[in-house]
Amino acid sequence: MADTLWQVVAAYAFALTGGWISTTLQLEHKSLCALISFAAGTLLGVTLFAILPESLGTAPTWGIVLALITGYALFFFISRHVHHVCPACAASHFDADASRHFSEIAGALIVALAIHSTTDGLALGIQQKSLGAEATTWSLFSALCIHKVPEGLALGSLLIGAGVQRAAALGWVAAVEATTLLGGVIGYFFLRDIPMFWLGLIMAYVGGGFFYLAVHAVLGEMLRHGKKLVLTTFLLGVALIAVLNIGLRMVG
């Protein structure tokens, strides 16, 4: 229990760190672009090298594929009809005009990001049982912590750009990202003891969401910024998770 809960809290802390940086320092978008692409790579990496291999051992292939598509489709639907589920993965969409009209999108943004963050916490809450192997659980934890930093950064930057005071902006980041803790509690206390079949499907569903975030982030950044920087940092993120999985499996 302690291992799972501290990982959920740590992921939340990384989001707060990103929010604190964005409300304290002024970063160039090039630096944020590199971090976003790197984090996107880790999300794709953990889906390919951890979530899918483990999930395929718990449920039929057709079920895993369906769950993967469902996770992707939900984030696509929310991003298309409500708001972008992750301000970091859609950073290029949050231009000056979006900041000036923040009051018009604030509610939708909070709802969308809350669903996304709850899913992150849910994955951490059930991963000890659903993924099992130490290599896969640690790679999921690493990918989510890395992803949470630019997520907090982008949300904090958007709030500052909209004229929100720094202390209030950090408070909003803390409040919205607290849904990560909610997801962790739900996953650990209410879902972790359900049959492995359903845990595998849930993790595949989470992987579908991760796949959407990774693709959306990379395509968005490539359209607005240098392809070389985006692809290089993205592939580094994928490679990090691959090496982490291989290395921990060899040690284990």
Q: Map out the domains of the chain as residue ranges.
A: 2-251
Q: What is the pLDDT along the chain (252 residues), one digit of tens a residue?
A: 567 788 999 999 999 999 999 888 776 667 778 888 899 999 999 999 989 988 998 899 999 999 999 999 999 998 888 877 776 665 555 554 455 556 656 677 788 888 999 999 999 988 867 666 676 788 889 999 999 998 888 888 878 877 788 899 899 999 999 999 999 999 888 887 889 899 999 999 999 999 999 988 888 777 666 688 889 999 999 999 998 887 766 765
Beta carbons of 82 and 146 less than 8 angstroms apart? no
For residue 51, the 8-state DSSP code is I
Distance between CA atoms of 113 and 111, rounded to whole angstroms? 6
Distance between CA atoms of 48 and 34, rounded to whole angstroms? 21
Beta carbons of 139 and 245 less than 8 angstroms apart? yes
Alpha-carbon radius of gyration of the chain? 17
H helical segments located in the chain: 2-24, 29-46, 52-55, 61-81, 96-100, 102-130, 134-161, 166-177, 179-186, 196-224, 227-251
List the one residue out of 156, 149, 151, 153 whose CA is nearest residue 102. 156
Residue 81: exposure state from Cβ atoms within 10 A (0-12, 13-18, ≥19): exposed
